[in-house]
């Protein structure tokens, strides 16, 4: 494995850590807003690390640029979705829901 492979591996491991942290937050935080906060930020950043790792492994620059575009679109989409969900929850007036639910 070359140096680039090791760096890519580290980046993807970091992505896995972020995704795991986000999912733990999703499962354990008490209400909608804090759960949104956890999942949006960590998933965006985790995907960024994943894309960086994959871009290093990509065969050509075109593929790397496509991966970057995927990440940017995901940023836009998840930010908008988080805003819409939070807005909806706010309008429905459910501040401290308290149900962490079962799986």
Partner 1 sequence: MPDLLPDLLLAPAVVWVAWHALTGRDLFRSVVFFIAFGLLLSIVWVRLAAPDVALAEAAIGTGLTGALLLDAVGQTERGARERGRERRGVAWPTALAVLLLAAGLVMAYAPLRETSGGLAREVAAHLEPSGVSNPVTAVLLNFRAYDTLLEVAVLLLGVLGLLVLHGRRDLSRVPAAERADPVLSWLVRLVLPVMLVAGAHLLLVGSHAPGGAFQSAVVMGGGAILLLLAGGRSITAVRGRLLAAALLLGLSAFLVAAAVPLFTGERFLQLRGETAGRVILAVEAALAISLAVALAALFAGARPRAGSAGEDR
**Interface ranges with partner 1 (CB under 8 A):** 73, 76-77, 80, 83-84, 87, 103
Residue 37 buriedness (CB in 10 A; 0-12 / 13-18 / 19+): middle
**Rg over CA atoms, the chain:** 17
Q: How far is the CB of 61 from partner 1 (least distance, A)?
A: 18
Choice between 2 and 99, CB closer to partner 1: 99
Q: Does an H or E element contain 13, and which?
A: helix 3-28
Choice between 30 and 77, CB closer to partner 1: 77
Q: How far is the CB of 87 from partner 1 (least distance, A)?
A: 7
Choice between 34 and 78, CB closer to partner 1: 78
CA–CA separation, 73 and 93 (whole Å): 30
Q: How far is the CB of 83 from partner 1 (least distance, A)?
A: 5
Q: How far is the CB of 7 from partner 1 (least distance, A)?
A: 21
Q: Of 38, 48, 41, whose CA–CA distance to 12 is shortest? A: 48
Structure token pair of residue 71: 């990440």
């Amino acid at each position: 494995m070359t140096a680039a492979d090791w760096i890519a591996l580290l980046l993807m491991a970091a992505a896995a850590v972020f995704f795991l942290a986000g999912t733990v937050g999703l499962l354990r935080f008490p209400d909608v807003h804090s759960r949104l906060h956890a999942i949006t930020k960590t998933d965006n950043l985790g995907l960024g690390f994943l894309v960086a790792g994959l871009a290093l492994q990509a065969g050509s620059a075109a593929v790397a640029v496509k991966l970057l575009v995927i990440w940017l679109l995901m940023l836009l989409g998840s930010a908008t979705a988080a805003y819409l969900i939070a807005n909806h929850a706010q309008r429905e007036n459910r501040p401290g829901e308290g149900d962490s639910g079962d799986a």
